[in-house]
Amino acid sequence: MITNHSHIVLKTENLKIGYQHKKKTLCIAEKINISLSKGQFICLLGKNGIGKSTLIRTLTKVQPQLEGTVFIGEIALESITNIDLAKKMSLVMTEKIPESNLTVYELIALGRQPYTNWIGSLTEDDVNYIDLAISQTNIKHIIDKRYNELSDGQLQKVMIARALAQNTDLIILDEPTAHLDIQNKVEIYKLLKTLCQKYHKTVLISSHEIHLALQLSDELILMNEKGLIAGDTETLITDGSVSTLFSSNLVTFDASSKQFVINTD
């Protein structure tokens, strides 16, 4: 019997990611075969510049793959229209959005764009999803503020709320907690975990919060110079895979505390 757990929301087949400039090809990683299952909280970890954002941009159709295929369910990514994709997948990127005079509420309401009618007026359903996203991210106190009045941390929560309002089965976030303090980082991680457990969303995030990722994720995708290692979080901690993330004599992975610790000598 196929359970919800084994239901694959996204998978890649022999994916090769990177950049093509004129006749020059820069390969960042290849032979990538990963799958994301329904209800799973997956963290993508790797050191600076290893290719996490490149992978996320390729999985979300922001940039083309060099080779191979990304499937959303059974359908190849390139054959899905942008409007249909926006109903299946929401994306939170670190890039700043263009300057605007929108209020927080209006920004979040933009998450409903794939569903709104041609004049863009909000239905009762739209309003309910927006209100739920606002309460889930705990930002009711700032909904009347303008975009340019927000701190980086507040803006990050608003962008997550916009993705939640989009109400997709799959949510992909590139370093969603980069500007947040420790309390807000934990809050966001717990929120993402709850979305998976309670609402069976599939959440993929790239992150440098290794300690939080190891405590809360169901699965990991580890990127290092040799390629990708994907699997169950506890397994990758105990089989030593996590310790390969940083090949440096500055830090060592301590599996018992699930942390990289600074070498003292």
Q: Could you list the residues that contact ligand ATP (CB under 6 A)?
A: 19, 26, 28, 46, 48-54
- For residue 50, the minimal CB distance to ligand ATP (Å) is 4
Distance (Å, rounded) from C-alpha 261 to C-alpha 265? 12
- For residue 199, the minimal CB distance to ligand ATP (Å) is 27
Nearer of residues 21 and 198 to ligand ATP, judged by Cβ: 21
- For residue 225, the minimal CB distance to ligand ATP (Å) is 11
**How big is the chain by its Cα radius of gyration, in Å?**
19
Nearer of residues 42 and 164 to ligand ATP, judged by Cβ: 42
- For residue 44, the minimal CB distance to ligand ATP (Å) is 9
- For residue 48, the minimal CB distance to ligand ATP (Å) is 3
- For residue 246, the minimal CB distance to ligand ATP (Å) is 12
Nearer of residues 24 and 198 to ligand ATP, judged by Cβ: 24
**Phi, psi of 112, deg, nearest 5:** -85, -5
Nearby residues of 98 by Cβ (< 8 Å), 6 or more positions away: none
Nearer of residues 19 and 199 to ligand ATP, judged by Cβ: 19
- Of the candidates 207, 203, 200, 218, the one whose C-alpha atom is nearest the C-alpha of residue 245 is 207
Residue 171: both structure tokens together? 């949510």
DSSP line for 190-230: HHHHHHHHHH--EEEEE-S-HHHHHHH-SEEEEEETTEEEE
